[in-house]
């Protein structure tokens, strides 16, 4: 039996205001270690709200959420930050790299901010992570000297530095061309297969969704579908071979 990573029960988020916004309502599901899933739904349906709660960036106003066996529904901000650091890797639509720093420094940035030095150990860890993402040898380059697709791969490397069991990606290919989109998808799949990392990927790209093993659909803040995708194809092209790291 796979370990259960996420248990959401009646999860909800209401944004207060003169007219409160019910962004998420009654969302219940379980998600296991090693799963590879997409979250789809119209703009404004509540996908980012859900991801932000799963990623401990935001707190639910209703229901309960267990992450890695811990009840995180109502924990305080320092515990939240520590657990996020341990359990979650985030990939966003925009890479948020710091242009004046090297690739290596960008990947190490969360650790540097936490007060670590870029010593031999940390450098080794960064370079191993860059290797897995097919970015060997780019560590010394300036973040600005990379293509859009490479920048997003560096952002993925940064998200994987702590080897989190769960990666949450919010429209990670929304800003990329088809070729770079496929490269990102292949990387996610490879990391999922090689390390057993779980992925929840918010996407507008139907083809990408169709290549995942499970598809969640959010409509008007509710979980409207949760289907196993038995027809998941490994790559976009039927004959294609997934890129190896």
Ligand X SMILES: Nc1ncnc2c1ncn2[C@@H]1O[C@H](COP(=O)(O)OP(=O)(O)O)[C@@H](O)[C@H]1O
Q: Which residues in this chain contact ligand X in the complex, by CB under 6 A?
A: 15, 21, 23, 41, 43-49
- Closest contact distance (angstroms) between CB of 202 and Mg ion is 6
Q: Between 12 and 41, name the residue whose CB sits nearer to ligand X.
A: 41
- Closest contact distance (angstroms) between CB of 74 and ligand X is 19
CA–CA separation, 65 and 123 (whole Å): 35
- Unique residue bearing structure tokens 């169709």: 210
CA–CA separation, 67 and 83 (whole Å): 9
Q: Which residues pair with 71 in a beta bridge?
A: 66
CA–CA separation, 184 and 91 (whole Å): 11
Pairing label, strands 4-15, 62-67 = antiparallel
- What single string gives the DSSP state of each residue in 53-89? HHTTSS--SEEEEEETTEE-TT--HHHHHHHHHHHEE
* Nearest to 118, CA basis, from 35, 129, 67, 109: 109
Q: Between 18 and 114, name the residue whose CB sits nearer to ligand X.
A: 18
Q: Which does 23 bind (CB under 5 to 8 A by kind): ligand X, Mg ion, none?
A: ligand X
Q: Between 77 and 237, name the residue whose CB sits nearer to ligand X.
A: 77
Q: Which does 181 bind (CB under 5 to 8 A by kind): Mg ion, ligand X, none?
A: none
- Closest contact distance (angstroms) between CB of 240 and ligand X is 30
Q: Between 46 and 164, name the residue whose CB sits nearer to ligand X.
A: 46
- Closest contact distance (angstroms) between CB of 46 and Mg ion is 8
- Closest contact distance (angstroms) between CB of 206 and Mg ion is 17
Q: Which residues bind Mg ion (CB under 5 A)?
A: 48
Q: Between 82 and 219, name the residue whose CB sits nearer to ligand X.
A: 219
């Amino acid at each position: 039996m796979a370990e259960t990573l996420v248990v959401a029960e009646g999860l909800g988020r209401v944004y207060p205001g003169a007219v409160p916004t019910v962004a998420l309502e009654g969302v219940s599901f379980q998600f296991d270690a090693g799963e590879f899933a997409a979250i789809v739904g119209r703009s404004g349906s509540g996908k980012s709200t859900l991801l932000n709660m799963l990623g401990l960036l935001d707190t639910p106003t209703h229901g309960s959420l267990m992450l890695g066996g811990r009840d995180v529904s109502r924990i305080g901000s320092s515990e939240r930050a520590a657990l996020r650091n341990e359990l979650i890797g985030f990939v966003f639509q925009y890479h948020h790299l710091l242009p004046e720093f090297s690739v290596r420094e960008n990947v190490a940035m969360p650790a540097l901010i936490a007060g670590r030095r870029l010593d031999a150990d940390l450098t080794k860890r960064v370079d191993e992570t860059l290797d897995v993402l097919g970015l060997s040898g780019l560590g010394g380059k300036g973040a600005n000297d990379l293509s859009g697709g490479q920048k997003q791969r560096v952002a993925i490397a940064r998200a994987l530095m702590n080897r989190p069991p769960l990666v949450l990606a919010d429209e990670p290919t929304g800003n990329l061309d088809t070729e770079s989109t496929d490269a990102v998808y292949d990387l996610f799949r490879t990391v999922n297969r090689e390390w057993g990392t779980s992925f929840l990927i918010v996407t507008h790209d139907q083809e990408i969704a169709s290549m995942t093993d499970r598809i969640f659909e959010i409509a008007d803040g509710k979980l409207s579908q949760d289907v196993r995708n038995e027809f998941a194809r490994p790559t976009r092209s039927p004959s294609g071979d997934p890129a190896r790291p």
